[in-house]
Structure 1
Amino acid sequence: MSTAPLPDTLSAAADRHGHRFLLIGKETIFSYHLGLYHVPVHAFQLITAFGLTDHLRTTYLDDLAAHGNQQVYYSLFTEGHWQLQELVDGTRTSLAVELERVTVDAQGKRTFTPLLPAVDVTSRKEDVVHYRPLEADAGYPDYVTELVFGRGGEIHLAHALAGAPSWDEVITTVDPQGFRPADLTPAATLTVLSVKDPHGAAPKSPLIPDTRYEAKIGERPVSFTVGRQGWWNNTSLN
């Protein structure tokens, strides 16, 4: 395991070959794969929960608390273009990850600032709550659709990626109502019938912060208020 000092910043264009997973949540911390439609090894939407070290967890939560009012995200970077199916099958049970803070400037350029050098985290196939290949020609739904995941009262929504171009987003809900534990594992699909799908790479989220929405999981009504945005990408995704 490398403990060499890391550079202060790494630009989004840095020539680093590997997977990134966005950290989502505070109580149970989920890892959301940064998908890319047109790069085969990254053309997957995957949500899991790695077994994090106490130091990594504390560093993430403390930094999030210090930057909570900014457009800031957090990722785990792991070297190598290995197949994500290994996480689903359970053949990869650990991986070395670097914790990064991701900031976005006015032009949309992302900068990855290392917070911790590589540490090992664990992976269990039973902690994978969603895994699906991305299909650029899959077509678009009529209304905004989301994947539901979380644990207990902390419920997150990830935009269900269908046709390309599109946008990739994860939000944490506030005051979720009507959700059930069975909606979270595997991740259920939620439809927001009041919001038409933009059928393209939306310039900003169709779900407005601090706004309450009525939605459905199947025919069952649920509702939520849009809280913190844990990830956004409408550029490199496509």
Structure 2
Amino acid sequence: MTIPDVISRSDTDAAAPRHGHRFLLIGTGTIFAYHLPLYHVPVHAFQMINKFGLAESLRTKYLDDLASHEDQQVYYSLFSEGHWPLKEIVDGTRDSLPVELERVTVDSAGNRTFTKILDETTATCRPQDVVFYKPLDATTYPDNLTCLAFGQGSEVHLAHQLAAPPNWDEVITTTQPVGFQQGDLDHAAAVVIPTIKDPKGVVQESPLVKGKTYKGLIGTREVTFTVGRQGWWNNTSLNT
């Protein structure tokens, strides 16, 4: 199964004609790209966080549209047509890719619709801008909820670290992060949340409650954060 790209068409619509990579846009100061992983599609079976060089028109459109939908379950993705290997970004054999900006909306049944809001432009990429890259090859679940921390300065994001399938995929932006170091964010340090047991499977809603403050551990060092905006959620196509 692959995830289609058509204007205002559900992610469950098998008739969509094009296939490729999607990268969720996360952040406002520094904009990060989070690859949409799929366990059972080999070319997409990777969890990846990186930064692209984005055209100013794309940055402006994304930031303006995000500001208009800040309190809604709306996400933003870059679609790049083709099943090229992500490792081309990591090893530096690819330095650019065509992308279209999409607004991703979710209905009451949880179906996602990807709507193009900016025509194709070119994004640039460099291996030194890859924050995290790992195949989805874990065979066991952790004992406690574990996230990957990334961001810049006071803007800290957490992506659910994907272990064994089935699972769920999520990215949130924190508010009031305390104790995070830039070195943690530059290399997507693992943050363990001791008070939340890993569900060891699919969940229907995030274990991280918006507005609630949590303590986490990076190694033995304590960090704290409050859950802010959800930048991505997937508990369906990730697993099928």
Q: What is the TM-score when the length of structure 2 is the normalising length?
A: 0.95
**Residues 159/7 of structure 1: CA separation in 2 closer, same or farther (3 Å cut):** closer
Percent identity (aligned): 62
Whether the 8 Å contact between 1:94 and 1:123 is mirrored in structure 2 is yes
What's 1:170 paired with?
A: 171
RMSD of aligned alpha carbons: 1.1
**Letter of the structure 2 residue corresponding to residue 204 of structure 1:** E
Are residues 8 and 140 of structure 1, via their aligned partners in 2, closer, same or farther at CA, if it must alter by over 3 Å?
A: closer
User: Cα deviations across residues 114-149 of structure 1 (Å, max 9, x unaligned)?
Assistant: 1011100100100000000002x5110010000000
Paired residue secondary structure (1:129):
strand
- C-alpha contact (below 8 Å) 1:10/1:114 kept by paired residues: no
What residue identity is the alignment partner of 2:8? T
Partner Cα distance (1:186, 1:132) in 2 = 12
* Equivalent in the alignment of 2:28: 26
Q: Which residue of 2 aligns with 1:53?
A: 55
How far apart, CA to CA, are the structure 2 residues paired with 1:171 and 1:186? 17
Partner Cα distance (1:40, 1:15) in 2: 19
- The total of aligned residue pairs comes to 232
For residue 215 of structure 2, what is the aligned residue in structure 1?
A: 214
Quick check: 1:10 aligned with 2:9?
yes
Offset of 1:10 from its aligned partner? 3.2
Post-superposition offset of 1:7: 6.7
Instruction: Give the structure-1-normalised TM-score.
Output: 0.95
Q: CA offsets, 1:34-67, max 9 Å, x none?
A: 0000000000000000000100000000000111
Residue in 2 aligned with 1:81? Answer: 83
4+ residue segments displaced more than 3 Å: none
CA distance in 2, matches of 1:215, 1:98: 36
Alignment partner, residue 121 of structure 1: 123
Label 1:182 to 1:232 Cα distance change in 2 as closer, same or farther (>3 A): same
Q: Does 1:199 align with 2:226?
A: no
**SS of residue in 1 equivalent to 2:142:** coil
Deviation at 1:15, TM superposition (A): 3.3
Change beyond 3 A, Cα 1:7–1:16: closer
> CA–CA distance in 2 between the matches of 1:16 and 1:236?
16
SS at match of 1:191: strand
Structure 1: runs of 5+ lacking an equivalent: 1-5
Looking at structure 1, the residues matched to 211 and 50 of structure 2 have their Cα atoms a distance apart, in angstroms, of 26
Match of 1:222, SS?
strand
**SS of the residue 2:183 aligns to:** helix
